[in-house]
Structure 1
Amino acid sequence: MATVTAAREGEWWTLDAPDVGAYGQSATLGDAQSAAREFIALELDIELTEVEATIVPASGDEAARALRKDVKGGVECAHTPYREAAQALYMSAQCMHQLMSA
């Protein structure tokens, strides 16, 4: 099993697995797990099914800011009303408004 550190760099998440000596990137934090497993399997020349990876954000504050930015961008791009976006994310409309105002 490898521990992979995820850090936001512009529009991408950089992924670093120092134990393995491998690194890669992912467009979203949600895709980081599969991306990390793929680059680790390539680096170690093993089957993808043999790879386990744990994704750890570089720092809590950095990850929170990046996730807020991702949510805000998605809601704005989709022209989704805050109330509908809040329902889709299982959060209150008030929390969504606070997130979008941050």
Structure 2
Amino acid sequence: MSSHYTATVTREGRWWMVAIPELDELTQARRLGEAELMAREVIALHTDQALEDIDVTIDISRVGDIDDVSAKVTSIAEYRAKAAEAEAKAMIESRSLATELADQGVPIRDIGELLHVSFQRAHQLIAEGRG
């Protein structure tokens, strides 16, 4: 059975301080990528659980004068996901329009001009739209 903990991570000088509030424990890591493992190891030692049975969420609350780093990272990830979704929709629409225009006899160079892509990319869009 897996147990879940939250580790609150802050930057102190050259170290990442990793606090596990549920256990009132503290450890440190040289690199942020080590914080989860360090937390899991402290939890395992404190609770006699196997490492693979411990799930840790890392909450980066403060780095220097920057507060709520985890919230800002989450916000950036949401923006990136929305951008990727918009890019995917734009690609679908570009393929569709490029194919429709080609079917109407519009030259590939003009399709590229309309879609603000190169002649080669317009050709690819048409091929993908028909494929």
User: TM-score interval w.r.t. the shorter chain?
Assistant: 0.5 to 0.7
Shift of 1:59: 2.8
What's the counterpart of residue 11 of structure 1? Answer: 14
SS in 2 for 1:30: helix
Q: Sequence identity, in percent?
A: 34
1:45 maps to what in 2? 48
Residue 31 of structure 1 pairs with residue 34 of structure 2: yes
When normalised by structure 2's length, the TM-score is: 0.45
Structure number with bigger Rg = 2
Matched length:
64
Q: Residues 3, 35 of structure 1: CA spacing in aligned structure 2 closer, same or farther, 3 A cutoff? A: same
What's the counterpart of residue 89 of structure 1? none
Deviation at 1:21, TM superposition (A): 2.2
Structure 2: which 5+ residue stretches go unaligned?
Answer: 70-131
Name the one with the larger helix percent.
2
Pick from 36, 41, 62 the counterpart of residue 59 of structure 1: 62
Would the aligned equivalents of 1:24 and 1:36 in 2 still touch at CA under 8 Å? yes
Amino acid at match of 1:37: R
SS at match of 2:32: coil
Q: Which runs of 5+ in 1 are unaligned?
A: 65-102
Please give the alpha-carbon distance, in whole angstroms, between the structure 2 residues aligned to 1:14 and 1:63.
Answer: 15
| SS of equivalent to 1:31 | helix
Higher-RCO chain (CA-CA 8 Å, sequence separation at least 6): 1
Deviating 4+ runs (over 3 angstroms): none
Q: Distance in 2 between matches of 1:32 and 1:5?
A: 10
